[in-house]
Structure 1
């Protein structure tokens, strides 16, 4: 299978490394330093057991560098780059290919479908954790299931993706309910990302420390209440258990929003906790804790240049 991964940051690089022995993988990144490191030295993948593997993978920085057409394109960019990634995917995709978003937040699938067509756009969620340690170097920081939504006319294409992930030894399942799937992923991010970024702790700390867990539980409760008001049937206890489970499975991982804050980059707060606030306003569900966390992360972003370091 011909696979292009657009957004070869932490998660995109991880999937590139894990799938490389089983498919023809090409990475696509706008990070020139990361691309140059991979071109010169290969992608260095550190497994959860501490083993290191150097993988010679082609890496693109522009669509004109690709002379084939991809059967599968994984989009792993930040949500703010979805529009540009969708345009790139349209240029690289085989007429019968599939674009699969594994991104955080809401609204990504709709942007991709508007560009490549609804039948060629699919969404999934993943509990895999990754940390980009340096340009060209990624660490597998947490292992968990990947779940793909099967849209109309997508059964054969999704089945091929499932077979690929199975060959790579990755846990993968499918679902017929895309809204519940995306909201369940959103709720995991709502509970973990902003809290980890503000406290600057790895995921496991959030479930180990009682004070952290109480805040996480309040964030999740608000998100579930909004989802249920939108007629998305999610049970609070089940969702809360899943958030706790992901924290334990990725205990040593630095959440993506924490990695953004530490690097002084814009975060995805608007499509995570901010999305809960916005949807809550639409359906009349108050979300004061998510609003506070959204405002706090925006304050962190606004003051990145003035941060006091030890």
Structure 2
């Protein structure tokens, strides 16, 4: 399978490295230093035990350098870049090629489907965690299952993707409940991302620190209440326990929102905690904890240039 990965930050690079053992991979990302390091020295993936491996991958900042005809485009960009990434995918995919979003938050699949059509759009969630350590270097900070589902289900297509991922060591299962898939991951992000970014701690600390639990529980409870009102069945029975389990599984990982805050970049709080607030307002459900976390992260974004070190 020929695969292009659009958005080669921590997760895009990590998946590119893993998939390179079974597929032809090309990474596309505007981060010039990162792309240059990969092209010149390879992509170094560091494991939790301190070992590392270097992967030789194609990488570019210019999609026009890539020949069209890819079988799969995996989109790992930030959510506000999804529509542009889908346009890039359209220019690089073959006629029967599809795009898979493994991004955070809600709304990404719809944005891709608007460009490619629902029959060429696939959504997924993954428990793998990655941290960008510097140009050409990422840490594989957590492992776990990956789930995929089609906007317009084609079992043979999903089976091809799952088979390719599985051959690369990415345990992948096909889901028949797309909303459950997306909201299951959303609630995990609600419980971890903004809190980790505010406290500036890795995921594992959140799950074992008693003082963190009340904030995590209240944010998660609000999101679950909204999901229940929307008639969405979550893929786990105890949401808070599951969020804590993910914290344990990705203990060394710096949540993507924390990585954004640390480098003064725009976060995805708008499609995570703020998304819960918007849907709560539409349903008449109060979401004060997610509102507070959204406002704190938005204030951190607005004051990043003035931060005291």
Deviations 1:6-52 (A, max 9, x none): 00000000000111111111101011111111111111111233221
Deviations 1:107-127 (A, max 9, x none): 100000000111000100011
Q: Which residue of 2 aligns with 1:217?
A: 217
Structure 2 unmatched ranges of 5 or more: none
TM-superposed CA distance for 1:151, in Å, is 3.9
TM-superposed CA distance for 1:152, in Å, is 2.9
**What is the correspondence of 1:24-43 to structure 2 with a 5 Å cutoff?**
24-43=24-43
* TM-score of the two chains, using structure 1 as the length reference: 0.97
8 Å Cα contact 2:149-2:176 kept in structure 1: yes
TM-superposed CA distance for 1:214, in Å, is 1.5
The residue matched to 1:251 in structure 2 has which SS? coil
RMSD across aligned positions (CA): 1.2
8 Å Cα contact 1:89-1:99 kept in structure 2: yes
Q: Which residue of 1 aligns with 2:265?
A: 265
Return 61-70 or 7-16, whichever deviates more: 61-70
| Runs of 4+ off more than 4 Å | none
8 Å Cα contact 1:17-1:55 kept in structure 2: yes
Deviations 1:126-159 (A, max 9, x none): 1100000001101100001101113434211110
The residue matched to 2:20 in structure 1 has which SS? helix
8 Å Cα contact 1:43-1:55 kept in structure 2: yes
* TM-score of the two chains, using structure 2 as the length reference: 0.97
The residue matched to 1:53 in structure 2 has which SS? strand
Alignment partner of 1:131 is 2:126: no
Alignment partner of 1:179 is 2:183: no
Alignment partner of 1:284 is 2:284: yes
Alignment partner of 1:293 is 2:305: no
TM-superposed CA distance for 1:97, in Å, is 1.1
Q: How many residues align?
A: 309
Deviations 1:146-173 (A, max 9, x none): 0111343421111011111111122211
TM-superposed CA distance for 1:236, in Å, is 8.1
Return the alpha-carbon distance in structure 1 between the equivalents of residues 182 and 236 of structure 2: 15
**What is the correspondence of 1:151-190 to structure 2 with a 5 Å cutoff?**
151-190=151-190
Q: Which residue of 2 aligns with 1:63?
A: 63
